[in-house]
Amino acid sequence: MLSLRKTESPAPAKAIDRRMHQRVKVNLLGRCMFEDHREFTCQVVDMSPGGAAIVVPAVGRVGERVVAYIDHIGRLEGRLVRLIDGGFAMTLAMTPRKRDKLAAQLTWLANRHILNMPEDRRHERFVPRNPFNKLVLPDGTEMRCRILDVSPSGAAVQVDPKPAIGTPVALGMMRGRVVRRFDEGIAIEFTIVHSAESLQNYFA
């Protein structure tokens, strides 16, 4: 099982570089804000207790301050250190206590599929009384859509044009990503599992 806690064993000097912590591939959605107050939907594709790689439909400046609010993780703050294809890499500024907490969160995220956590179980679906809603794309584009069915972990949505698989989206206020395309539309996997009661209330 993967653990992100630091070890006391010495490491070669060459290994002590800007990646001092082990990175974990993740798929976490959120929003990030640059120094000029531009705010965008974003996706974290890998992360360690010391830094993160973020895909975002915007270009920032190396050295500028970035604040991000990421699902499962919470508020992150740091500096943009380099540009990457489709986004940027940032360092994370935090206290040792918060860094340890982030290491524990990343360990859980890295191992949840191995441990068969509840988030991976299927949930009963239902058709909302009011099936019409809006689908919001990463660049802020809103598309009218029809919800074919919804469950605590995802939804099937009739929409045209269909976003590509892997696209971060928001169904109303529910964040998720496109995991499948079919004739009528797309299937969305929510970032977190919602309670059936909250879904019934939201999609009433």
Is there a contact between 51 and 90 (Cβ–Cβ < 8 Å)? Answer: yes
Out of 3.90.110.10, 2.40.10.220, 3.10.20.740, 3.30.110.30, which CATH number does the structure's domain 132-202 have?
2.40.10.220
Q: Pick from 5, 80, 3, 74: which is nearest to 36 by CA?
A: 80
pLDDT tens profile 19-58? 456 788 887 888 899 999 888 888 888 999 999 999 888 8
pLDDT tens profile 166-188? 899 999 888 899 988 888 899 99
Out of 3.30.420.40, 3.40.50.970, 2.40.10.220, 3.40.50.1220, which CATH number does the structure's domain 14-118 have?
2.40.10.220
Both tokens of 185, joined, read 């539309």
- Distance between CA atoms of residues 21 and 57, nearest Å: 27
**b (16+ CB within 10 A) / e for 75-92:** ebebbbeeeeeebbbbeb
Lowest mean pLDDT among 120-129, 134-143, 190-199: 120-129
CATH 2.40.10.220 range(s) for the chain read 14-118, 132-202
